[in-house]
Amino acid sequence: MKKGMRIIAYLIAVVMILTGLFGWGSSEVQAAVKKETMTSAQKMPFQKNRKKAFDTPSGYVIGESVFDRNEVKGVVKEGETVYEMETTLAVPHGVSMWPLVNYNKTDDEEYNASIEDLTSDFQITKDGEPVEFYQYDDQISEFDENDQRVSQMKLNDYVDGYVTSYIANAILNSGTYKFTITLPKEVTKGARIYFLTTGVTLNDKYISLNRQNTKEEAIKLKVPRDGYDDKLLIGIFQQGSSNTFWYKFTLPAKRYVIFSTEGMQFTEDTAFDLTLYQPDGTTKVYHSDPNYNSTSEDNGDGWYWTGAGIKRRLEKGTYYVKLQATKDVDGYYFAGVDLRGPASPNVTYWAIGKRIVKGTAEEGSRAYAVINKKTYKAAKKTDSKGKFSIKIPNVKAGTKIKVYIKDAAGVKSYSTEVVVRKIPKAPTATLYKKGTKTIRGRALAYGTVKIVYNGKTYRKEANWNNRFTIKTKDTLKSGKKFRISVTDESGNVSKTRTYKIK
């Protein structure tokens, strides 16, 4: 299940990227107050040709309409030491940022040597207050402690201005953020800035953002719910919060349930837990099943996978699901929930001329038959064994009958379609020698052949090639007779033939 959910997650991410919903470029991300007037030529959020000059001024406003990422290429002018960028997020985002500084070099080798080991500072602020994030390296060089939560990150000078190294990961709620790169005072000749951002929008038309809640505030999930077609559930984990999310759903009958979850977090320790409670609200049905509860796995950029899942058949009733971070972490989870609707009915009898349709379905449901655009309803709901019967008018061979049910909550199943058939031809016995116990012959393919001999009844399904072989308990005797007929899958019974053993 974990692998399946991961594949689904990656596919969703790709779709969101290609549709412009993934990252800072979504339509909900609006530019903040501009610090200075900039022409369109100065705004360079995404350049496929990275050889283009660095000329974006400080005060750059992130939030242009781009695909999966924003790419800022700017300059710190000679004599200045600060480069600022700003954006306003209308909704929460999970963000990865790659800040890079390349100090300008001169003909003065002494100056160049004096600055090559100096580091710049990268900082995020909101309303003037520092915002903490997780520092990570992409294996070009390493921090003393990877995945460390910090409010400021040190950036080395890079000679190659197109190689990124350090990553800053964060969950950013809605609001206006400022990203500042500060050069050391010894760097007086300016620098080039490269700042790449990418991430996931945590609330849009594809996903529904859920807030932390209590059991009493549990979010009600509709039944049925298709985890592949319906909105994904998203919840945000943040340090200093309870990081607990509750859901509930009511099954009108015994149903198969899948609750598959994946978490993305910024630390490698497994910190994700899922519990399913019985209708009494306290007894646990499931908790941290080792078959589905994964250990953390590095995604290669400071994001770690973790997850859990439920996959089983449950009795009718109201169930509670609790998702919780077991450690004080930052990250988010998404859940694909598959709460099945009623299964399509199994139609077992619709013989021509009998004016009735029979079958089995979910207990407590009501069956319906649609014939020539008219609907006929079963007089009673299905019994404890799921049996139903629907009275219908007389119909001709070739008529299509669609049968569906509605469960106790009124949810409609998919239809099962059958076709009224002609009465099958009586089977032919081709081998029935005296002194043997074998009768062979030909009959309707897959029809049930019935033979009555010496007071005993034998039944056997004919194969795809219309042939059948039936073994009798009693030896076939000369002068004795046996009767033979066949019944098709709709319940139609052929005429009976009688054979005399010679």
- 28 has pLDDT over 70: no
Asked whether residue 27 carries a pLDDT value surpassing 50, the answer given is: no
| 359 has a pLDDT exceeding 60 | yes
Query: What's the CATH code of the domain at 184?
Result: 2.60.120
**Is residue 99 in some structural domain?**
yes
Residues 179-189: pLDDT tens digits? 999 999 999 99
pLDDT on residue 18: 31
Q: Is residue 272 scored above 80 in pLDDT?
A: no
Tell me: do 271 and 295 sit in the same domain: yes
HEC profile of 412-468:
ECCCEEEECCCCCCCCEEEECCCCCCEEEEECCCCCEEEEEECCEEEEEECCCCCEE
One domain, residues 241 and 186: no
User: Is residue 411 assigned to a domain?
Assistant: yes
Number of compact structural domains in the chain: 4
Predicted pLDDT at 462: 97
Higher pLDDT, 323 or 7: 323
Provide the token pair at 452. Answer: 């009555």
Report the range out of 11-25, 285-299, 324-338, 409-423 with the highest average pLDDT. 409-423
**DSSP string for 472-494:** -SSPP-TT-EEEEEEE-TTS-BP
What is the structure's pLDDT at 165? 64
Domain assignment present for residue 339? The answer is no
Q: Work out the average pLDDT over 307-311.
A: 78
Task: State the pLDDT at residue 65.
Answer: 30
User: Per-residue confidence at 54, pLDDT binned at 50, 70, 90?
Assistant: low
| Domain co-membership, 182 together with 209 | no
Q: Quote the pLDDT of residue 49.
A: 32
Q: Does residue 32 lie in a domain region?
A: no
Looking at the fold, whether 197 and 65 belong to one and the same domain comes out as yes
User: Both 176 and 262 in a single domain?
Assistant: no
Alpha carbon 164 to its chain centroid, in Å, reads 33
- Greater confidence (1 vs 336) lies with 336
Q: Domain boundary at 201, 216, 232, which? A: 201
CA pair distance 130, 123, nearest whole angstrom: 7
Average model confidence (pLDDT) across the chain: 80
Name the residue range of residue 489's domain.
428-501
For residue 165, is it within any domain?
Answer: yes
Question: How many Cβ atoms from other residues are within 10 Å of residue 391's Cβ?
Answer: 12
Same domain, 96 and 174: yes
pLDDT at 318 over 80: yes
Q: 496 in a domain, yes or no?
A: yes
pLDDT at 53 over 70: no
d(CA 116, CA 399): 85
Q: What is the largest distance, in Å, between two alpha-carbon atoms of the chain? A: 122
Q: Rounded mean pLDDT of 281-285?
A: 80
pLDDT given for residue 112 in this prediction: 92
Position 480 in a domain: yes
**Range 372-396 average pLDDT:** 95
Q: Does residue 303 sit in the same domain as residue 360? A: no
Per-residue confidence band for 1, with pLDDT thresholds at 50, 70 and 90: very low
Confidence of residue 62 (pLDDT cuts 50, 70, 90): low
Residues in the chain: 502
Q: Which is nearest to 172 in space by CA: 269, 65, 66, 62?
A: 62
In a domain, 48, yes or no: no
Last residue of a domain, one of 365, 388, 420: 420
Q: Residue 57: its pLDDT value, please? A: 64
Phi/psi of residue 11, nearest 5 degrees: -65, -40
- Judge if 307 and 371 occupy the same domain: no
Provide the b/e sequence for 329-352 (b: ≥16 CB within 10 Å). bbbbbbbbbbbbbbbbbebeebbb
CATH number at residue 233: 2.60.120.380
Looking at the fold, whether 356 and 408 belong to one and the same domain comes out as yes
Q: What pLDDT, on the 0 to 100 scale, is given for residue 297? A: 52
Q: What percent of the chain has pLDDT over 90?
A: 44
Residue given tokens 């809605």 in the structure block: 174
For residues 20-45, give the mean pLDDT: 32
Closest CA to 67 of 11, 29, 24: 24
Instruction: Evaluate if residue 38 carries a pLDDT over 80.
Output: no
Tokens of 21: 């919903």
User: What is the DSSP-derived secondary structure letter of residue 53?
Assistant: -
What per-residue confidence (pLDDT) applies to 45? 33
Do 359 and 311 have their domain in common? no
At 299, the pLDDT band (50, 70, 90 cuts) reads low
The per-residue pLDDT for 195 is 86
Strands (E) located in 110-243: 119-126, 129-130, 133-137, 149-150, 153-156, 166-172, 175-182, 191-201, 207-210, 219-220, 232-237
- Is 80 exceeded by the pLDDT of residue 32? no
CATH label of the domain that carries residue 370: 2.60.40.10
Mean pLDDT lowest among 91-95, 219-223, 413-417 = 91-95
pLDDT at 350: 98
pLDDT at 287: 73
Identify whether residues 191 and 69 lie together within a single domain: yes
The residue ranking higher by pLDDT, 435 or 3, is 435
Range name among 48-52, 349-353, 414-418 with the lowest pLDDT average: 48-52
**pLDDT digit string (tens) for 455-487?**
999 999 999 999 999 999 999 999 999 999 999
Query: pLDDT tens digits, residue range 210-265?
Result: 888 999 999 999 888 876 667 778 888 877 777 888 999 999 888 989 888 877 77
Same domain, 442 and 408: no
Give the pLDDT band of residue 93 (cuts 50, 70, 90): confident
pLDDT of residue 454: 96
